[in-house]
Amino acid sequence: MDENPRAAILIVNALSRQGRDQFDAACAALKAAGIELIEAIAIEKPGTLIETVEKAVAKRPPMLIVGGGDGSLSCSVDSLVGTDVVFGILPLGTANSFARTLGIPLEVQGAVDVIARGARRRVDVGMIDDDYYCNCAAIGLSTKIGDRIPPVLKKTLGRLGYLIWASYQSLKFKGFKLTVTIDGKSETLKVVEVRIANGPYHGGVALVDEADPQSGEIVVQAVVGSSPTQLGWSWFASWLRLKARKDTTREFHGQEIRIETQPPQKISIDGEVLAKTPVTARIARAAVEVMAPAT
């Protein structure tokens, strides 16, 4: 195993919930931990993150550290696939599901300790058609929440803001038909939510127990039913880790899974609405090297 990188480009999404407040703290903590910052960039203009990451990766730094939420990490990973640039993660978002999947502490100092003294690990990333993503894509109520939540509610209240908005959106939500095809075999069922998972966390809650970014498989988990009440029970049972949570879902595993819905549905990819059914979900095996906890 190569030694851990000691120099990096740091990019922080200052538009994320904690980004602006934590940028200076992250710079100071990284320097104190012995990480040389080749550049430190705070993104303050919407729509510039992807271009900034592409330019940074083109310089081939030993490590790229990205601070932000799951959407920021997912936007960044496309540029890292196929390179030898190590991915350092500062979880500064609302749910921080990918950091939870990897076991990275959610406070800045703990995440910096992992970046400076953790272990390099190759992990899978998911794909929706040709778009790479880190942790979980979703279809259903969570997509409507992410697509329409007022920014002020998300920024000021965090996960509580999502809960309030979810309650409002659920009043007018309807289920839909899902058709899953693996190796030419199809199955259709009535569902209220679909999770296309590379890791167990979605919305900061462990929902897809069998999903693992080192398994070589993508997991499609469908919450069966037709009403928001059934989705709410599934989330509640999963949050409390009740055995009954297993009765609320169906799971499909594979390296490539075709996903169709009736009617067509938007897809939230790590919190950002970026696609629409039908799509093909795939796994990109060991596609990115990340800094993860040593144990």
- Average pLDDT of the chain to the nearest whole number: 91
Q: What are the domain boundaries of the chain?
A: 7-125+288-292, 133-286
pLDDT band at 29 (very low <50, low <70, confident <90, very high): very high
Q: Looking at domain 133-286, which CATH architecture does it have? A: Sandwich (2.60)
Place of tokens 């320097």: 31
What would the mean pLDDT of 202-218 be, rounded to a whole number? 94
Confidence at 232, pLDDT banded by 50, 70, 90: confident
Predicted pLDDT at 221: 98
Task: Give tens-digit pLDDT for 159-191.
Answer: 566 666 566 666 667 889 999 999 999 999 999
Lowest model confidence (mean pLDDT) among 10-14, 98-102, 281-285: 10-14
Residues 66, 49 contacting (CB under 8 angstroms): no
What CATH number does the domain located at 7-125+288-292 have? 3.40.50.10330
**CA distances from residue 243 to 11, 237, 248 in whole angstroms, order as listed:** 41, 8, 10
Q: How far is CA 200 from the centre of its chain?
A: 10
- Nearest Cα to 220, choosing from 131, 103, 140, 105? 140
pLDDT value at 19 more than 90: no
**Structural contact between residues 95 and 159, judged by C-beta atoms closer than 8 angstroms:** yes
pLDDT bucket at 277, cuts 50 / 70 / 90: very high
Q: What's the 3-state SS for 215-273?
A: CCCEEEEEEECCCHHHHHHHHHHHHCCCHHHHHHEEEEEECEEEEEEECCCEEEECCEE
Which amino acid is located at 196 in the chain?
A: I
Cα distance between residue 86 and residue 199, in whole Å:
19
pLDDT at res. 14: 85
Considering only residues 14 and 105, tell me which one the structure prediction assigns the higher pLDDT.
Answer: 105
pLDDT tens sequence across 98-120 = 999 999 999 999 999 999 999 99
- Residue 40 is inside which H or E element, if any? strand 36-43
Per-residue pLDDT at 156: 65
How many residues would you count in the chain?
295
> Residue 76 has which token pair?
């960044």
Paired strand residues for 43: 13
Per-residue pLDDT averaged across 139-161, rounded? 65
Using CA atoms, how far apart are residues 253 and 196, in angstroms rounded to an integer?
Answer: 10
CA pair distance 135, 271, nearest whole angstrom:
10
CA 108 to chain centre: 18
Residue labelled with tokens 């120099």: 7
